[in-house]
């Protein structure tokens, strides 16, 4: 009897998906060498300036800021578990006007700041993957 398709690729994909696990925790030595940059005392201004470039009515935007915390994103175990990005993460909720003048629904984002510069915006789900620093 002839097979219509091979099961080998399906088995390989299932094996790889089953092997996906969280990256190994960093040692104390590795944690002590993480470069978070300087603490962003003016984080609210940094974030507002960043979003002013993309919001159509930036002056009318309303922000709710969380407290910045040091943290890092780590690559998966298949990529070596190395630190991908590190700095100060801020949980931000933004409500801004559309071009029509009506306020849009509040948007929940995460922002990575390092040395006074926004390096990355992320979804609230991605923000949940951040490992807190020391």
Of the candidates 90, 76, 74, 100, the one whose C-alpha atom is nearest the C-alpha of residue 124 is 90
Q: Report how far residue 72's alpha carbon sits from residue 89's, in angstroms, rounded to the nearest whole number.
A: 8
pTM of the model: 0.76
pLDDT greater than 70 at residue 19: no
Phi first, then psi, for residue 124 (nearest 5°) are -65, -30
Burial of 64-95, coded b for 16+ CB within 10 Å and e otherwise, reads eeeebebbbbbeeeeeebebebbbbbbbbebe
Q: Which of 20-24, 54-58, 88-92 has the lowest mean pLDDT?
A: 20-24
Q: Which residue from 87, 93, 120 is spatially nearest to 105, judged by alpha carbons?
A: 93
Helix/strand/coil percentages in the chain, nearest 5 = 30, 30, 40
What is the per-residue pLDDT for 1? 47
**Count of residues making up the chain:** 134
Write out pLDDT tens, residues 94-108. 999 888 888 889 999
- Scan for tokens 């974030």, then name that residue: 47
Selected residue with higher pLDDT from 127 and 15 = 127
pLDDT interval class at 93 (50, 70, 90) = very high
- pLDDT at position 22 over 80: no
Lowest mean pLDDT among 5-9, 50-54, 62-66, 86-90: 5-9
Q: Which residue has the higher pLDDT, 78 or 3?
A: 78
Residue 11, Ramachandran bin (φ over 0: left; ψ between -120 and 50: alpha; else beta): alpha
If you average pLDDT over every residue of the chain, what do you get? 83
Strands, E, within the chain: which ranges? 62-65, 69-74, 83-95, 107-114, 117-123, 131-132
């Amino acid at each position: 009897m002839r097979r219509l398709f091979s099961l080998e690729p399906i088995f390989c994909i299932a094996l790889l998906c089953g092997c996906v696990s969280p990256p190994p925790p960093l040692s104390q030595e590795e944690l002590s060498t993480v470069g978070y940059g300087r603490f962003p005392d003016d984080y609210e201004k940094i974030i507002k300036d960043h979003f002013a470039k993309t919001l159509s009515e930036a002056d009318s935007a309303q922000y709710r800021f969380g407290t910045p915390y040091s943290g890092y994103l780590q690559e998966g175990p298949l990529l070596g578990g190395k630190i991908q990005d590190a700095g100060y993460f801020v949980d931000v909720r933004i409500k801004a006007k559309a071009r029509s003048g009506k306020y849009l629904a509040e948007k929940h984002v995460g922002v990575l700041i390092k040395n006074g510069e926004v390096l990355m915006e992320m979804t609230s789900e991605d923000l949940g993957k951040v490992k807190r620093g020391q």
